Amino acid sequence: MRIAPISFKNLYFIGFTFLMACGKKQETIHPISEAITASVYASGTVKSVGQYEVYAKVNGIVQNVLVSEGSDVKKGQAIIALSNKAQELGYENAKLLANYSSAETNLEKLNQAQNELDVAKLKMDNDGSLLDRQKKLWGNDIGTKNDLDQREIAYKNSTALYNASKLKYNDLKKQIDFQSKQTNKTAAISSTTLNDFLVKSEINGKVFSINKEVGEMVTTQMPVAVIGDAQKFYVELQVDEYDISKIKKGQKTMISMDSYKGQAFEAVVEKIYPIMNPKSKSFKVDAVFTLQPNNLFPNLSAQANIIIEVKEKALTIPRAFLIDNEYVYLENKEKRKVKLGLMDYEKVEILSGITINDALVKTIQ
């Protein structure tokens, strides 16, 4: 195989490139004294205070949507009505039965029983008087023993009739009272069930979304709307399990959002949830805005830096000059071990190993 000869021009180019590479000066830096802030990064989502998914208490078909998305609602206000024809008929039937069983409706029966009791009382009292009179006559040897026996029998019969009438009256009164209470409770239960077909707001707030339309099926397992406070918002953050031990309530947090690019908003950690999500290996942390943006919406994506510690005066170097997280290269080609302190995304604090006078390079050539 024939090898092409190298021309003088090519030889000159290779030599020039080699000389330039050898002569290129490597970048050097010196540690500097400056402020450094250590923080924990967390992704999150903007949430409305009190934001919750609205569920129906019963299954049914949407008969009417009573509010629109963006509407302000009061606590207890109906937002969706479900079809409830069968329940309405059941409630009307329960009311009819309650009215039929009420004391007022059965007053005539009670009056009749009271009259029978009064008549029986009068007869018993009269027979008692006649018996006393017959006993006095018998004591004065007037009348016969048969007359006295007849009076005693008449008094016993009238007393028995009175007691029976009294028992009948009391039983009737108890029965009417029981039926009245029972049917009223049945009507109340039916009314409550009927009320369950109205899906209502649990808070004063704004309707952020309506998930169902007229004619659609609703079950108790699917949310029909989302409601929350339209004025107050917070950020629900996901903190990695590696960092959760560093998080404390009250820590300053800087929030950035795609909808507000180039801006950062201050917040503070308000709540740390004490259980880890086994799927994401993260903990939920709530941060409340110190001064929130004027225009926010639920479910906006957000990023946060939770500030762990701030040191106003620290010896720092760029993280790019750190080798294996514990060494640096000096300009004289020495590899030296250093002790690290605080660290952010760009720089790291050096506690010992080098001074401000040492010159560092990224690599040794």
CA angle 87, 91, 92 (to 5 degrees): 120
Taking the C-alpha atoms of residue 364 and residue 325, their distance in angstroms, rounded to an integer, is 17
CA torsion sign for 32, 36, 39, 45 is negative
Taking the C-alpha atoms of residue 138 and residue 152, their distance in angstroms, rounded to an integer, is 13
Taking the C-alpha atoms of residue 248 and residue 270, their distance in angstroms, rounded to an integer, is 9
Q: Give the tokens for residue 357.
A: 């006078």
Q: pLDDT in tens for each of the 365 residues of the chain?
A: 334 444 444 433 444 444 344 445 678 999 999 998 888 999 999 999 989 999 998 888 898 999 999 999 999 999 998 886 655 555 566 666 667 667 677 778 888 888 988 998 999 999 889 889 888 888 888 888 888 889 899 899 999 999 999 998 888 888 878 877 777 776 676 666 667 788 999 999 999 999 999 989 998 899 999 999 988 999 999 999 999 999 999 999 999 999 898 899 999 999 999 999 999 999 999 999 998 888 888 999 999 999 998 888 999 999 899 999 899 999 998 999 999 988 877 889 999 999 999 999 988 87
Q: What is the pLDDT of residue 69?
A: 92
Q: What is the pLDDT of residue 88?
A: 58
Q: Which residues contact 119 (CB under 8 A, 6 or more apart)?
A: 165
Taking the C-alpha atoms of residue 258 and residue 300, their distance in angstroms, rounded to an integer, is 8
pLDDT tens-digit profile of 205-247? 999 999 999 989 998 899 999 999 988 999 999 999 999 999 9
Beta bridge partners of 277: 282
Q: Which residues contact 149 (CB under 8 A, 6 or more apart)?
A: none
pLDDT tens-digit profile of 281-312? 999 999 999 988 888 889 999 999 999 988 88
Mapping DSSP to helix (H, G, I), strand (E, B) and coil, where does residue 9 land? helix
Q: What is the pLDDT of residue 272?
A: 97
Taking the C-alpha atoms of residue 233 and residue 32, their distance in angstroms, rounded to an integer, is 40
Asked if residue 68 lies in contact with residue 210, where contact means CB atoms within 8 angstroms, the answer is: yes
Count the Cβ atoms, other than its own, within 10 Å of residue 339.
Answer: 11
Q: Which alpha helices (H) appear in the chain, and where do they start and end?
A: 8-23, 85-100, 107-139, 145-195
Q: What is the pLDDT of residue 94?
A: 61
Q: What is the pLDDT of residue 211?
A: 92
DSSP 301-357: EEEEEEEEEEEEEEEEEEGGG-BTTTEEEETTS-EEE-EEEEE-SSEEEEEES--TT
